[in-house]
Amino acid sequence: MENNFSLDLALIPKELKLILEIIKIEDVERFQANSSDWFKDIDWKLFLELAIHHRVYPILSLKIKKFDVNLIPPNVIQILNLTYRKNTLQMLHLSSVMVEICKIFNDNQIKLLVLKGPILGEDLYGDVSKRTSGDLDVLIPIDDLAKVEELLIQLGYEKDDYIQTVLNDWTWRHHHVTYFHPQKNIKLEIHWRLNPGPGKEPPFIELWKRKRVSALTSYPVYYLGREDLFLFLVSHGARHGWSRLRWLIDIKQLVKQNINWVSLAKLLKKHQFLNVAGQAIVLCSQLLSISITKEMKPLIKGKHPKMLAQAAIFYLERMVNLHTDPVPADISKYHKRHLTSLMSRQQRIFFIISFLYPYPEDAETLPLPEYLHFLYFPLRPFLWAWRKTKSHAIS
Q: How confident is the model at residue 172 (pLDDT cuts 50, 70, 90)?
A: confident
- Compute CA 6 distance to the chain's CA centroid, rounded to the nearest angstrom: 25
> Distance (Å, rounded) from C-alpha 392 to C-alpha 353?
25
User: Whole-prediction pTM value?
Assistant: 0.94
Residue-level pLDDT at 2: 55
The model's pLDDT over 70-122, given as tens digits with 9 standing for 90+, comes to: 788 999 999 999 999 999 999 999 999 999 999 999 999 999 999 999 999 99
CA-CA distances (angstroms) from residue 34 to 30, 31, 131, 350?
Answer: 7, 5, 28, 51
Residue-level pLDDT at 274: 95
* Angle, vertex CA 148, rays to CA 147 and CA 149, nearest 5: 90
| 11 CB-near residues (< 8 Å, 6+ apart) | 313, 317
Residue-level pLDDT at 309: 98
Residue-level pLDDT at 300: 95
Span 352-374, mean pLDDT? 89
Helix (H, G, I), strand (E, B) or coil at 76: helix
The model's pLDDT over 194-235, given as tens digits with 9 standing for 90+, comes to: 999 888 899 999 999 999 999 899 999 999 999 999 999 999
> Distance (Å, rounded) from C-alpha 113 to C-alpha 213?
10
Residue-level pLDDT at 389: 82
More confident residue, 41 or 33: 41
Q: How confident is the model at residue 261 (pLDDT cuts 50, 70, 90)?
A: very high
> Distance (Å, rounded) from C-alpha 50 to C-alpha 28?
22
Q: Which amino acid is at 52?
A: I
More confident residue, 69 or 365: 365
Q: How confident is the model at residue 394 (pLDDT cuts 50, 70, 90)?
A: low
Span 134-141, mean pLDDT? 96
> Distance (Å, rounded) from C-alpha 186 to C-alpha 200?
31
Q: How confident is the model at residue 383 (pLDDT cuts 50, 70, 90)?
A: confident
Q: In what order do the strands lie in the sheet with 222-223?
A: 158-160, 176-181, 186-191, 136-139, 113-114, 222-223, 212-213
More confident residue, 216 or 2: 216
pLDDT at position 237 over 80:
yes
Which residue, 362, 395, 390, is CA-closest to 378?
362
Residue-level pLDDT at 252: 97
Percent over 90 (pLDDT), the chain:
74
Residue-level pLDDT at 350: 86
The model's pLDDT over 276-323, given as tens digits with 9 standing for 90+, comes to: 999 999 999 999 999 999 999 999 999 999 999 999 999 999 999 998
Helix (H, G, I), strand (E, B) or coil at 191: strand
User: Contact 113/139 with Cβ under 8 angstroms?
Assistant: yes
Span 327-336, mean pLDDT? 94
How many other CB atoms are found less than 10 A from the CB of residue 152?
Answer: 21
Residue-level pLDDT at 390: 72
pLDDT at position 392 over 60:
no
> Distance (Å, rounded) from C-alpha 304 to C-alpha 200?
20
